[in-house]
A and B are shown apart, each in its own frame.
Chain A
């Protein structure tokens, strides 16, 4: 597919990187030559210099012949303008980044008027992501699928986890609660484990399980964290506003520490139930005085990655059960992994993920297509949800009879609302919802891609 991205900044670059890897032809428009040079040197894309909202630039970038335009410049108005022009030129779909809360209410209205296919608000998305993390504090990350009936969770194993060194197939507890470990991240490597795989301290695991048996899973993995009742947010950014709004409506106590007095006033106006503190959140005195040690969770949302990292490390040091860090420069995340920075949110990656998901679904509009995509372990592994249709191979066979390509796992089957964590005797039937885990480089686009070539599975 031909995709034009306006704005080669943080989000634009992340998008271009991901979408070229998925095999799309990318044109990047930006008015900064340095930015463009970086894009063309590091990525397999072509660059057009100019104002992305101008007709001339868009003509030069052949927006009219493209399938999708993504406007991700810093300005909401420019982004919307880009989409209007693109639509007029005949570009089938447009996505705009609109982040001003003043516009969010009108988005549906704007969408219809401008033929906008999707409006994306990175701050709001980040806030929602953080909110989900705080709702289930035991997990570093949690996503649900099959209409919420099953979940996939990311967990850093506790050093006291009793089953280290034991092959997975011999941990009876796992199958009793219906959980399946579908990927393990150890150091820089990712494994898709089979029954002989043994866990080690320091492993980060990704497990699927029915949503109903939440407590069993948490108990087994030894990651119990009590419900979160009070949250301290450092940095009163837009994300903080959206997050506080959500938390307050869920009855959670919110403290926001913000340096800028004017911003504090604005927050106090819009969030009457939150405790707003005007102070420098990077000062230890302030954090201690405001009771960082007593908070159930700390979320660092300042504009400086460095400050966020230091405050998060300090919070972790003080024994705060749940610490969430916002990071813009994700290249360095790995360096901080072992220092108490486990739950990381990157607005840029979240936005890119959201758009990539949309692009994939638009690319495969057939019924065999992927219903949902989750990227695990920094994008090294993908978890995908498919519907089994009449065209799916191997229908009616048991999983024991089916040979999959190496390193691919059927993690979960949902049949008529029932979640099945599959074993060898389970069968694949039509209309099943199948959840597949595979390394990202396999580029699975439809369900039939997971089966090994025909000559092998006759054996």
Chain B
């Protein structure tokens, strides 16, 4: 294992994190928030100082799957550990476990909060909290790939990093160069975010609100800076946020193809159609349910259903209403799309629509095989046949996912909450959504949970964001074996 390379990357990330805290620091200075300034300044110093340790020369830049997994898992933990410091040091969130939960929730774009009164937070920390969404959405290492010339001598080994950090069953590059690929991804990401900010400013949103909300939307995170999430904003702003959540849940490859005017290829993507189909059907059913059971106005029902489904399915977690009070049928639909999640290659979480499509097709093929045992058939997606590895990988993913979900539920059930809360808390964190039902619903938060449960849920968030395996690898002892190469 090439420990020096892992440490080299981790050091880079730590310095970057310090740089990213500068805007938050400036905002705090501007607003005269002395505690927040102190917390941020100490953290930034700590990051820079720690990153100066052990700067030994890189002997090899070689990088394999093992290093890729470990780096990604480690970097995310380190970034969260340091990212939580400003909250505790400034006294805004006195308990470090709480601050860690909040930061992990930010970086993993979950949006689950332990804060009972968000509006009391200093502006600088509110900005930092929302910015973690933006950074975590596309991935911190993808950002590093975009700015440092790693691939110069290590060849395409950095693909392992992209693969470990990006979402979906098949991760590939858009263009031959890893660096260009990372830049294109971030370019699309930033352009969409900017567009959203502009549209919200046009709708009369204050600048600070617009920027933080856009960060929350772009990363499909869901940290709001108001206690009632999005409910107090105008309908226009809610529609803008709703539409952009949907857009950020789309595979970024689609935007890349649109950019190059391959309309048919982009819009013909099976995943995109399945995504829009599931979303449309869910909105329709919930709207109908709300009209019939709750007697809502047609447009109001459509608006509320649309925003909530878009928010939950893309795993963002903004809310314009307390869907905890909705009929069970509607809540159940929300729970289902919670698990399904957004498209592969987007900033959203969940199992991903691509996996669903693969599972569905593979199940159909296997069922057909029972009728004609000698039949040979391939699972195809967008006209390309998938190899067996991808399919078995998808099944493995589902199995591991289920095991983790059940174990986590068992562990947090020790806190003796009701079943709805317990189940939805795990689903909402493992799928990086944020609000669940019951106590952890949109009107509530995770404050009531014990420290132990908060750690379990933090791990769930990391597992969900990194698609299980990079985090799981951290617990495999053999991966840490030093062997003979003392690199």
Contact = CB atoms under 8 A, between A and B. Distances in A.
Contact of A42 (B157, B175, B180, B387): B157
A46 B175 contact: yes
Given A26-B176, A44-B178, A33 B155 contact: no
Contacts of A67: none
Nearest to B179: A44
Contact of B176 (A17, A27, A42, A441): A27
Contacts of B180: 25
Interface in B130-154: 151-153
A45 B176 contact: yes
B176 A46 contact: yes
Contact of A45 (B156, B158, B160): B156
B172 interface: yes
A270 interface: no
B2 to A, nearest CB: 15
A43 interface: yes
Contacts of B65: 41
B173 interface: yes
B156 A44 contact: yes
A92 B176 CA distance: 19
Interface string B152-169: 110111111000000000
A246 interface: no
Given A25-B177, A46-B172, A17 B155 contact: yes
A44 B387 contact: no
A324 to B, nearest CB: 30
Contacts of A46: 172-173, 175-176
Interface string A43-54: 111100000000
A40 B175 CA distance: 12
Given A25-B176, A25-B177, A44 B151 contact: yes
Interface-centre pick from B65, B152, B155, B156 (highest chain A CB count, 10 A) = B156
Contacts of B157: 41-42
A104 B159 CA distance: 40
Contacts of B172: 40, 46
Contacts of A330: none
B460 to A, nearest CB: 30
Interface in B394-437: none
A40 B160 CA distance: 10
Nearest to B181: A46
Interface string B56-97: 000000000100000000000000000000000000000000
**Consensus secondary structure, chain B interface:** helix
Contact of B158 (A33, A44, A441): A44
Contacts, number: 45
Interface in A345-400: none
A40 B159 contact: yes
Contact of B160 (A25, A27, A41): A41
Contacts of B158: 44
A20 interface: yes
Contacts of B152: 21
A33, A45, A441, most chain B CB atoms within 10 A:
A45
Contacts of A2: 176
A43 B387 contact: no
B175 A25 contact: yes
A39 B173 CA distance: 13
A43 B176 CA distance: 10
Contact of A41 (B153, B159, B387): B159
A20 B159 CA distance: 15
Nearest to A443: B152
A41 B152 CA distance: 14
A17 B152 CA distance: 11
A20 B156 CA distance: 9
A441 B152 CA distance: 10
B387 A40 contact: no
Contacts of A40: 156, 159, 172-173
Nearest to B152: A21
A44 B175 contact: no
Interface string B167-192: 00000110111101000000000000
Contact of B156 (A25, A42, A441): A42
Given A33-B387, A41-B160, A20 B155 contact: yes
Interface in A1-39: 2, 17, 20-21, 25-27, 33, 39
Contacts of B177: 25, 44
Contacts of B155: 17, 20, 42-44
A39 B151 CA distance: 14
A249 B157 CA distance: 48
Interface string A420-459: 0000000000000000000001000000000000000000
Most buried by B among A2, A25, A44: A44
B160 A44 contact: no
A25 B157 CA distance: 16
Nearest to B151: A44
Nearest to A47: B172
B468 to A, nearest CB: 21
A42 B160 CA distance: 10
A42 B157 CA distance: 5
Contacts of B159: 40-41, 44
A342 to B, nearest CB: 27
B153, B173, B177: residue with the most chain A Cβ atoms closer than 10 Å: B177
A431 B31 CA distance: 66
Contacts of A20: 151, 155-156, 176
Given A20-B176, A21-B153, A44-B176, 11 more contacts: A17-B155, A21-B152, A39-B156, A41-B65, A41-B157, A42-B155, A42-B156, A44-B156, A45-B156, A46-B175, A46-B176
14 contacts: A2-B176, A20-B151, A20-B156, A21-B153, A25-B180, A26-B176, A41-B65, A41-B156, A42-B156, A43-B156, A44-B156, A44-B158, A44-B159, A44-B177
Interface of A: 2, 17, 20-21, 25-27, 33, 39-46, 441
